[in-house]
Amino acid sequence: MYTAGDFRNGVTFELEGNVYSVVEFQHVKPGKGAAFVRTKLKNVITGGVIEKTFSPTDKFPQAFIERRDMEYLYTDGDLYYFMDQQSYEQIPLGPDKLPDSFKFVKENTVVKILSYKGEVFSIEPPAFVELQVTECEPGVKGNTATNALKNATLETGAQIKVPMFIQEGEMIRIDTRTGEYMERA
């Protein structure tokens, strides 16, 4: 059990039948009246964010989010197949369980499958991936003096902005959390 006074960033707990993670918290002791805890909470299953205020003595059951390493195998129709690397068990997931950052994941990449009480609700791709640029406009001489960007299509089909000096066929490193170009690989 957690009390609201124990809240820290990243703590997961159950509230009103939902699972929340603490994004921000602030312990407030006003000059008059009782202390309280002001929080910003993220529903880990739906992704919705709410703001809520609690008494420091309010108690909540702890929620255990299981993170398992699984390898992304292939797509078949609307289903994406992942394999547990210890048991070789395969599980199919629908597109509703995949975050936007999944567009940077190619086959045979190890990702983290997130589940609560055995129910898979999302995946976490690696923070950085290396992908090949399959299509981009050629850079024009003289455009590299500024921080100008151009559109590029990656081997997974994702489109991002890259610097003018990046050429078709190059391997680049992408931050999957922001979807931004980091560096040449």
Instruction: State the fold for domain 66-124.
Output: OB fold (Dihydrolipoamide Acetyltransferase, E2P) (2.40.50)
Residue 47: pLDDT above 60? yes
CATH architecture of 130-184: Beta Barrel (2.40)
Average pLDDT over residues 162-180: 89
Q: Residue 140 and residue 144: Cα distance in Å, rounded?
A: 8
Predicted pLDDT of residue 85: 86
Between the alpha carbon of residue 159 and those of residues 40, 105, 171, 180, the distances in Å are 32, 13, 14, 10
Q: What is the length of the chain?
A: 185
Task: Give CA–CA dist 84/184, Å, rounded.
Answer: 31
Residue 145 has pLDDT above 80, yes or no: no
- If pLDDT is split at 50, 70 and 90, which confidence band does 141 have? low
Per the CB < 8 A criterion, the answer to whether 119 and 68 are in contact is no
pLDDT at 142 over 70: no
Closest C-alpha among 141, 135, 146, 123 to residue 172 = 135
- Choose among 19, 125, 107: nearest CA to 69: 125
Determine contact, residues 115/68, Cβ cutoff 8 Å. Answer: yes
What is the CATH code for 2-60?
Answer: 2.30.30.30
- How far apart CA 149 and CA 37 sit, in angstroms, is 44
- pLDDT at 72 (0 to 100): 93
Q: How far is CA 124 from CA 9, 99, 119, 176, in A?
A: 18, 8, 15, 9
Q: Percent of the chain at pLDDT above 70?
A: 96
Query: Would 2-60 and 130-184 be classified into the same CATH topology?
Result: no
Residues 22, 167: Cα–Cα separation, whole Å: 42
Give the per-residue pLDDT at 65: 86
Which pLDDT tens digit goes with each residue over 62-88? 888 888 999 999 999 899 999 998 898
- The values of phi and psi at residue 95, to 5°, are -65, -20
Please report, for residues 136, 137, 166, the alpha-carbon distance to residue 153 in angstroms, rounded to integers and kept in the order given: 6, 10, 12
pLDDT per position as a tens digit, 92-116: 998 888 888 889 999 999 999 988 8
Domain boundaries of the chain, sorted by first residue: 2-60, 66-124, 130-184
**CA–CA distances in Å: residue 31 to residues 34, 35, 36:** 9, 9, 12
